[in-house]
Structure 1
Amino acid sequence: MAPLKFCANISWLFTELPDFSQRIYAAASAGFQAVEAAWLYDSDLQELQRVREATGVEVVLINTPPGDVKAGDLGLGAVPGRETEFKQGLDLALKYAKALECKRIHLMAGRVPVGSDRAAVAKEMEAIFVHNLKYAADILSKAGITGLIEPINTRITDPRYFLDSPHQAAAILEKVGKPNIKLQMDVFHWQIMDGNLTQNINKYFPLIGHVQIAQVPDRNEPDSAGEINYSYLFNTLDKLNYQGHIGCEYKPLRATNEGLGWLKNYWTQSK
């Protein structure tokens, strides 16, 4: 089997450098052939295109815009009353994705509104999310792009995020029923919310369109001290013949390059 493919999340890695263009160069110099990022929208698109072409680095994933971060937004896909803004954000994400030849967009669900009870608004938010995902699926399919939904844990990272477990995400995907809307598995969030990683990966593998990694509980390098045996997990994904990229979305303990020993060891052992 071909070795697993890793991409640098340049919203988290190489943050020693101030802009995304420099981080793409740094990722390429470190041996990455692909990158992903959360929000590139403050960067000059033509400059990003130029750097991508100069390095040959593939851009494999970006997120839809978060909304008004200062007002507490973190995505709009499931948020009541924000449907028009979600569509506008999708258009912007699509513009960047097309320009960068990126084939995956994380369609962020967003947070339960302040003052609302999660249980009381759950059905309404799910219905809005399903509707928006169906709309996005049709738009993205014309461009050959896959939309992704990602559960984010509500125990540590974001207590108000609407989509917080693989089980909830799978139920929503079933209601959406579009082949180009898939599940983004961030192992960090899955472990915190549900554990049971082996069974959940096997159960939901047919739905998975992208993987991200970080150690639990401190979200550092995969080989740092923590709960997850990444050697085992990589072997599990390899046995399942996972063909996509694995996004390195973690907080380096030191300078990014100093913490890449785990990846260099993997590359060496895979040759």
Structure 2
Amino acid sequence: MTLYYVLSTIPSPLDPLIGSEDREKMEASLNYAEHCFSRTRTPLESKCKNLPGTLEHSCNWDCKNKAPHAGNQDDDRGLGAVPGRQHEFREALALAVKYCKVLKCPRIHIMAGRIPLGAKREEVSAEMEATFIGNLRYAADILAQEKITGLLEPINSRITDPRYFLTTPEQAAAILKKVGSPSLKLQLDIFHCQIMDGNLTQNLEKYFPVIGHVQFAQVPGRHEPDSPGELNFPYLFQLLESMSYSGFVGCEYKPKEGTLKGLGWLHSYWKSHGVLDSGS
């Protein structure tokens, strides 16, 4: 499960909505390694007494597997496109929907899974895509009933995960088109998109109609947007605003010196939009 600091393109910072005690607990728990790729299934309700209300605004639930399988780290990347494990996928989806309903979380990240060890991508892609499409059609019917959006996130295969099945926005958009459900959208992580394809302006414009959530981190270090790197985030944020993007932007980065010290970029953004005055 991943908690996000949320940057709304219509400035509405979450901080005023969260008590200082709960905010401190959230900030202390926002550890990239723990929450993005944790194998635990311990609910986080105990960390914040107001967590359900917070999550309604600010998080996705990762649909991976029902429980960790000993010695099989591939499960941490999902089951959506893994042949022969459709029953486990359905169990994982049911659990994810259950959490979303309790926490009033409107989105589920449906993870595709990995290419099998030793297999060549081109030899298994057709079967894995067919499995993914079948699972997504099953999921789409359930999500539509529950008014939850399912998200597909391409993860780069050059740095982060050479074996992840879904690697580019183009591949994800093609699968979404084949499934044909408005309950499924693209989760575009600018970090992964830059590594796989670059051309961010045209890619954001091209895939904007199917984008349901945006994430970011600086490239290549995967740190804060104002850290040294390839990307001009003031431009990218302005681009999203010019496109009237009204969703959330997830800060999926690894803070270089801790969460609080790394939020200078966010304060600068708020000031530029008149949310904070110079004395705040």
Distance 1:46 1:56, change over 3 A: closer
Match of 1:61 in 2: 60
Structure 1: distance between partners of 2:62 and 2:55: 21
Q: Does 1:177 align with 2:205?
A: no
SS at match of 1:135: helix
Structure 2: distance between partners of 1:173 and 1:55: 29
Distance 1:6 1:225, change over 3 A: farther
Which of 135, 150, 157 is residue 154 of structure 1 equivalent to?
157
Matches within 5 A, 1:209-248: 209-248=212-251
Say which is worse superposed, 81-90 or 155-164, in terms of deviation.
81-90
Structure 2: distance between partners of 1:23 and 1:189: 34
SS at match of 1:84: helix
Which of 168, 171, 184 is residue 171 of structure 2 equivalent to?
168
Match of 1:84 in 2: 87
Match of 2:131 in 1: 128
Say which is worse superposed, 68-77 or 170-179, in terms of deviation.
68-77
Q: For structure 1, which runs of at least 5 residues remain unmatched after alignment?
A: 9-21, 31-36
Give the conservation status (yes or no) of the 8 Å contact 1:48–1:100.
no
- Cα shift at 1:71: 1.1
Match of 1:44 in 2: 43
Q: Does 1:258 align with 2:261?
A: yes
- Cα shift at 1:46: 5.1
TM-score, length-normalised on structure 2? 0.82
- Cα shift at 1:45: 6.0
Distance 1:69 1:201, change over 3 A: farther
CA RMSD of aligned residues (A): 2.8
Give the AA of the match of 1:189. H
SS at match of 2:117: coil
Match of 2:196 in 1: 193
SS at match of 1:147: strand
Count of aligned pairs: 253
Q: For structure 2, which runs of at least 5 residues remain unmatched after alignment?
A: 1-7, 29-34, 275-280
Q: Does 1:72 align with 2:62?
A: no
SS at match of 1:215: coil
Give the conservation status (yes or no) of the 8 Å contact 1:214–1:222.
yes
Distance 1:56 1:160, change over 3 A: closer
Structure 2: distance between partners of 1:24 and 1:90: 29
Q: Per-residue CA shift, 1:60-92, capped at 9, x if unaligned?
A: 311112553741311000011111111111111
SS at match of 1:209: strand
Distance 1:6 1:252, change over 3 A: farther
Match of 1:26 in 2: 24
SS at match of 2:186: strand
Match of 2:205 in 1: 202
Identity over aligned residues, as a percent?
A: 52
